[in-house]
Structure 1
Amino acid sequence: MKRTCALIAAAVLVAGCGGGQTATTEPEEGGAPGKVTLEWWHLSTSDPLKTIYETRAKEYQAANPNITVKMTVLENEAYKAKLTTLTQSGKAPDVFATWGGGVLKQQVDAGLIKDISADVDLTNFTTASMAAYQFDGKTYALPTDIGMVGFWYNKKHFEKAGIAEPPTTWTGFLDAVKKLKAAGITPIALAGKEKWPGHYYWAYLAMRIAGLPALQQAGTDHDFTKPEFVQAGQQLKALVDLEPFQRGFLGAGYSTPDGQSASVANGKATMELMGQWAPTVQADSGEGLGEDLGFFPFPEVEGGKGAITEAFGGGGGMAVGADAPKEALDFLKFLTSTENHTKAVESGAVLPVLKGVESAVKDENLKVVAESLASATGFQLYLDQAYPPAVGAEVNDSVAELFAGAKTPEQVAQDITEVAKSESE
């Protein structure tokens, strides 16, 4: 799943209140269980996941003859529009795809989502995979996929510049940038025109300096002017001041022939900070690095409250409508069982959300990501999904202006705060 899809998905807004959409139930004579039609909405319109989900529905129906699973399958934009229309009427599908975070919280607050905390066993799910679907100690969805952002890099460039190992500290990262420049190599490719790739830097630095609880607290008190958030901008400015990006980066796209991904794929730049889809996009937009492509997590910032084992990214899950019948939750448990999830991971469609399933990942690059996620001690959802969409958009815009030299770190923090407070009123 490309990040552009995630951005579109983050724009889903909900309003209204009331119960969820109720499945169709036809009672049978003699008190026998009635026939049930489950409304299942998802957005896996392409294979392998499209066929996998069709197969799961048929298998579940075969094992439960009284149940019919009616699928509504839409691509991101259409899904966003249709789900918004339904939730605004105070209803929700029986089982439906969610990205968690701020949008799911709005749906929970509107009374549209079932609290499944007491009905599911979460011990087999990884810590990172559950982060986007839990609020105030309660669980409102189960994850089906997860991913994280990290540095994808050219191993040969590192070797040429005398960098023995990927940096694990921010100081070490800045030193690596200097070494690459000294060797005549462009250190980093960035799609400045599209803004969202740049916000990854500020978000990760905020995580590493302020810590995950501070980001969560900012979602409540709407205050991003605290010293740690300003420091995140200052450290990002320290990177920008090294002029590490490719020429014309402010006008560059992400997946275009001369954009961020292609610059790394064609050996014109060494690194990009990007999600788990990076190798696929690199292969589509450029030559690709093959075995010379490596991955490492965003470094720790010395003295910061965050840890290198805390990941930043997104994923997908399934929620149950507030008024859905008990069969809806049973179907969700079936979808996320170890056996069925392993099959989806083996197909390359998703990354593991269950412990011990990392071995099912076949792609070597994705296996590194999966192992990082499996051992993650914390997880932060994309800021434009964790917070209301307007706040996420302001993060993107303000950070882009910092890259361009048009805003100071203090102005970035202040402007994000103003939008956050305005949205909370």
Structure 2
Amino acid sequence: MKRSLALIATAVLVTGCGGGGGGTAPSQPNQGGGSPAKVTLEWWHLSTAEPLKTLWAQRAKEFEAKNPNVTIKATVLENDAYKAKLTTITQSGKAPDLFATWGGGVLKQQIDAGLVKDISGDVADVLPNFTPAALSAYQLDGKTYGLPTDIGMVGFWYNKKLFEKAGITQPPATWSAFLEDVKKLKAAGVTPIALAGKEKWPGHYYWAYLAMRIAGLDALKQAAVDKDFTKPDFIAAGQQVKALADLQPFQKGFLGAAYSTPDGQSATVSNGKAAMELMGQWAPAVQNDSGKGLGDDLGFFPFPAVEGGKGSAADAFGGGGGIAVGADAPKEAVDFVKFMTEMGNHSKAVESGGVLPVLKGEESAVKDPNLKQVATMLASAGGYQLYLDQAYPPAVGQQVNDSVAELIAGTKTPEEVGADITEVAKSEE
């Protein structure tokens, strides 16, 4: 989770809206037909950068204007500070009225602790408006515990000119073709891939995607139940990560490289020193911030299919942001979540470039051609897998990151990766 937190915020794509309600009393019933009781909604979110910082403040003012009895008190924090503050308050048995969530295993822990409101009935009328991929991280056992404000997909962002230099005429559609293109790039004197080895989470994308393509989405979901990552298909995913690492495709010093620093993964691609990076939809924004930017030379292609694999090449991997409601929040909190995700309101955020579509039919609001490609793929995705370090319990997700980093560095075998993740998963039972 640390991965997507720091990075999505940097890219101005964090949209999780949060709330707060630890100390706010629920609204009282309207006795005798008078005006509604005054309500203060504590809203915690982490959209500290533009354009979302201003857009979310505008939405709050508009909601207050429509509901004069409601005051929205926003607490806006950077990712790490937000994560720490939310952990502290939830450990005390409380939750904000409204708060940013990434769904998955962390949200499940909060639900199990009785801190999150089941809003299924309240939002039943609007659920059909959302794309299934966007909703998936906030639904558990047939119930809905939040609504999405952003969704994304990890894929390869590449330098068209460097591909041309290596004689690559079109992006690879299969994993074997991808490995061949890595060899072509190296032969042409081009560093194939930039990787932030120091931060670990970018490396986990490779193992996760290969597991999706080889084992399939159902296998990843089953692993969350039986806590077993030692099955042959998971080992095969590790073997393919090793096959890539054995080609030495990454930039010099990648093991000590960060993601968004001036000499990190993003800048290495942005400045033309590597041909591609495997990263989420925020990649272009971070590239422009950290380096020169590639302009029209930047392209995107989805993670390739693996020949003989059980997974579909149409399945997407990524994450986004959403709004959850605290268990003790007043009904106005749910009203605000629905207000934030109405087509007329949410599409303004999409048009600004701050988020990608979560509602059906919003694709037309995306202006950037690469982001439009991502949005279109997401809208038609056959299945969707949340980042593994968010989908699984936090300790398991961290072990995935750590073990894959060791696999890429050559200090752990594919079998050891599976065994170590399994050991941590079983210890969480």
Which interval holds the TM-score relative to the shorter structure? over 0.9
Q: Deviations over 1:348-393 (max 9, x none)?
A: 2111111111111122222222222122121111111111222111
Query: Which AA in structure 1 matches 2:359?
Result: L
Paired residues for 1:110-259 under 5 Å: 110-120=113-123, 121-259=126-264
* Shift of residue 143, structure 1, vs aligned partner: 0.2
Q: Is the 8 A contact 1:20 1:112 kept in 2?
A: no
Q: Which residue of 2 aligns with 1:97?
A: 100
* Shift of residue 255, structure 1, vs aligned partner: 2.4
Q: Which residue of 1 aligns with 2:82?
A: 79
362, 368, 372: which one aligns with 1:367: 372
SS in 2 for 1:87: helix
Q: Distance in 2 between matches of 1:55 and 1:281?
A: 25
Q: Deviations over 1:282-302 (max 9, x none)?
A: 222222211011000101111
RMSD: 2.1
Q: Which residue of 1 aligns with 2:316?
A: 311
398, 403, 423: which one aligns with 2:403: 398
* Shift of residue 196, structure 1, vs aligned partner: 1.4
Q: Which residue of 2 aligns with 1:349?
A: 354
Q: Which residue of 2 aligns with 1:42?
A: 45
Q: Which residue of 2 aligns with 1:59?
A: 62
Q: Which residue of 2 aligns with 1:25?
A: 27
321, 327, 343: which one aligns with 1:322: 327
Query: Which AA in structure 2 matches 1:100?
Result: G
Query: Which AA in structure 1 matches 2:27?
Result: T
Q: Which residue of 1 aligns with 2:15?
A: none
SS in 1 for 2:130: coil
Q: Which residue of 1 aligns with 2:16?
A: none
Q: Distance in 1 between matches of 2:29 and 2:223?
A: 49
382, 404, 413: which one aligns with 1:408: 413
Q: Distance in 2 between matches of 1:8 and 1:392?
A: 18
Q: Is the 8 A contact 2:209 2:303 kept in 1?
A: yes
Write out the 4+ residue segments of structure 1 that deviate beyond 6 Å after TM superposition: none
Does residue 274 in structure 1 map to residue 276 in structure 2? no
Structure 1 residue runs of 5 or longer lacking an equivalent are 10-18
Q: Distance in 2 between matches of 1:29 and 1:36?
A: 15
Query: Which AA in structure 2 matches 1:186?
Result: T
Structure 1 vs Structure 2: percent identity of aligned residues? Answer: 77
Deviates most, 237-246 or 339-348: 237-246
Q: Is the 8 A contact 2:214 2:308 kept in 1?
A: yes
Query: Which AA in structure 2 matches 1:51?
Result: T
Q: Is the 8 A contact 2:24 2:40 kept in 1?
A: no
* Shift of residue 423, structure 1, vs aligned partner: 2.0
SS in 2 for 1:25: coil
Q: Which residue of 2 aligns with 1:287?
A: 292
Deviates most, 322-331 or 123-132: 322-331
* Shift of residue 38, structure 1, vs aligned partner: 2.0
Q: Distance in 2 between matches of 1:129 and 1:102?
A: 16
Normalised TM-score (structure 2): 0.91
Q: Distance in 2 between matches of 1:27 and 1:414?
A: 55
Q: Is the 8 A contact 1:23 1:38 kept in 2?
A: no
SS in 2 for 1:272: strand
Q: Distance in 2 between matches of 1:198 and 1:228?
A: 18
Q: Distance in 1 between matches of 2:46 and 2:317?
A: 23
Q: Which residue of 2 aligns with 1:108?
A: 111
Q: Is the 8 A contact 1:20 1:90 kept in 2?
A: no
Q: Distance in 2 between matches of 1:7 and 1:392?
A: 17
Q: Which residue of 2 aligns with 1:5?
A: 5
Change (3 A) 1:380 1:78: same
Change (3 A) 1:8 1:256: closer
Q: Distance in 1 between matches of 2:31 and 2:293?
A: 63
Q: Which residue of 2 aligns with 1:14?
A: none
SS in 2 for 1:147: coil
Query: Which AA in structure 2 matches 1:111?
Result: G
* Shift of residue 151, structure 1, vs aligned partner: 0.3
Q: Distance in 2 between matches of 1:168 and 1:387?
A: 29
Deviates most, 364-373 or 145-154: 364-373
Q: Distance in 2 between matches of 1:133 and 1:414?
A: 29
